[in-house]
Amino acid sequence: MERQLTTSPVPAESGEIWLVMDSRSIGGIENHVFILADELRRHGLNAVVVLMADYGSSPNINRMKRLNLPYRLCQNTQDFLRQLKAHPPLLLHSHGYKAGIICRLLGRWYGCKVVSTFHSGDLGRGRVRLYSLIDLATAFLGRRIAVSRAIARRLPPPVTVIANFVSLPPRAAVQPEPAFRVGFVGRLSHEKGPDLFCSLAALHPRAEFHVYGDGPMRSALEADYLGHVEFHGFCADMSEVWPQIDLLCITSRAEGLPLAALEAMANGIPVCSFAIGGLGDLITHGDNGWLLPAGDLNAMSQALHEWQQLPTAEYRRRQQCARETIRQHYTPETALPQIIAVYQRTLGPQASRLHG
């Protein structure tokens, strides 16, 4: 049975927590919100995913239906305001710059408590950069969570740093022997550095290079790297992809803490990455992956050579270390108590309504 909420009045006593985002597709923020909503509901909190605008056919709707998550789909910002006034939630928790700006401004105007999670390590360019700067300028209007220490340093204190998190699969998805399949998972846009990833392919003919994702750079990259890199497009179900990857490469120019890195390591896949954003806290060089100076393709190329020459025992050890890192530090069991504590501090005397 579909659980999309109707537009009938919802009393303020319902204690809803709105997880608000403006989204056209599924990416790191969307996956984070879905995991968070599911885990909050498991802990007895009335979490509802709210999409601020209807962009037509969206994989997000299908994903929420599969997860049996309640959601509100607003037509536009005006409709979001109408629903906010008609169904006042206990708390707004925004994700992404547009949702953050609007939730904090409306929250201040209508007296609604707001928590904002800041995910992006990239200020962007053009209009995106303008929105990002407004996002930072209005950050003081709500309680602040950052997914990495690097992002927290850009925000007005106090800031609570809570890393992204993933559920640990029952078993690793990897093969005991490497097939030298190198993967890129993410949006094909400048800040994610897919061009840097593809440029490595010609230097490593023994390895297979696979790109999972879509975006504005795809056509140009396919034209430039035909025969060197295989492009798979957007993948709605990554559980089918992880068994096809032996090493995840992150060549981003800026990052927060990418969910792809956490999911890969949860599946026993080591990560080779530039030292940006929260990746410096996640990866221990030579243990659960490779951590290299930002933008240093020569160092990353050397790391790929090292990976291809690892003895089988060392290869398996790094797989196990990657998975153990997630088990100890990046699961819902670690993050949820911290997030709920932020909610409680934000709500003050109303915190008792979190659990109905």
Q: Please give the Cα distance from 95 to 104 (Å, whole number).
A: 11
Domains of the chain: 12-165+332-355 (3.40.50.2000), 181-329 (3.40.50.2000)
Q: What is the pLDDT of residues 185-225, one digit of tens each?
A: 999 999 999 999 999 998 999 999 999 999 999 999 999 99
Tell me: pLDDT of 25 over 80: no
Burial of 1 (0-12, 13-18, 19+ CB in 10 A): exposed
pLDDT category at 356 given cuts 50, 70, 90 is low
CA atoms within 13 A of residue 329's CA, in its CB half-sphere? 13
Looking at residues 288-317, what average pLDDT do you find? 96
* Per-residue pLDDT at 23 exceeds 50: yes
In the numeric block, which tokens belong to residue 2? 């579909």
What's the confidence (pLDDT) of residue 146? 97
Residue 269 makes CB contacts below 8 A (sequence gap 6+) with 173, 174, 183, 242, 245, 246, 247, 248, 319, 322
- C-alpha span between 205 and 197 (Å, rounded): 14
What is the mean predicted confidence (pLDDT) over 253-266?
Answer: 94
Q: What is the mean pLDDT of residues 104-114?
A: 95
What whole-number distance in Å separates Cα of residue 200 and Cα of residue 191?
17
Separation between Cα atoms, residue 105 and residue 318, nearest integer Å: 46
pLDDT digits 0-9 by tens, 130-187? 988 999 999 999 999 999 999 999 999 999 999 999 999 988 777 767 789 999 999 9
Query: What's this model's pTM, rounded to 2 decimal places?
Result: 0.89
Q: What is the β-pairing status of strands 289-292 and 247-250?
A: unpaired
Region 15-30: mean pLDDT is: 89
At 186, which amino acid appears? Answer: G
Average of per-residue pLDDT across 6-23: 68
Count each helix (H run) and each strand (E run) in the chain, helices first. 13, 13
Tell me the percentage of the chain whose pLDDT exceeds 70.
Answer: 94
Q: Is the predicted pLDDT of residue 229 greater than 70, yes or no?
A: yes
Average pLDDT over residues 313-335: 95
Predicted local distance difference test score (pLDDT) of residue 28: 82
Q: Is the pLDDT of residue 13 over 70?
A: no
Residue 58 has pLDDT above 80, yes or no: no
